[in-house]
Structure 1
Amino acid sequence: MLVLVLSVLVLLVVGGCVCVFWAARGDAPRWARGVAKATLLAGELARSADRGSRSQRSDGDD
């Protein structure tokens, strides 16, 4: 069951990356541009969440 869930997740990520590439070329339909925008937003959210967890982990010994 876990393998199925992870496989679907990987397919969604790959599909989102394809839509980002397609939209960047400029000839994508509206639905692909929407998927690309959602993919980029999800990436930004993941990046900001990672930055937040890094700042909480730092001990100030930098």
Structure 2
Amino acid sequence: MASYTVKSLADEVEMYLEDMIPLLARLGMKDATHDQKVKPAIASAVLRTVKTHNDSLQKLE
């Protein structure tokens, strides 16, 4: 799995950085900064969740 910073993960899932930071805080990364490294397990959870969300939105169309 690729290594991510908060900013690169936000870019990967096409989220605004301002939305990614609170999401990561709920996943245990309190006070995350844009250049902070994201643990692989957290990055994987974010990627999987966003993919599932996007897939469900496409089914509604």
Interval containing the TM-score (normalised by the shorter chain):
0.3 to 0.5
TM-score (norm 1): 0.42
Comparing both structures, which one devotes a greater share of its residues to helix? Answer: 1
Q: TM-score, normalised by structure 2?
A: 0.43
**Bigger proportion of residues as strand:** 2
Higher RCO by CA contacts (8 Å cutoff, separation 6 or greater):
2
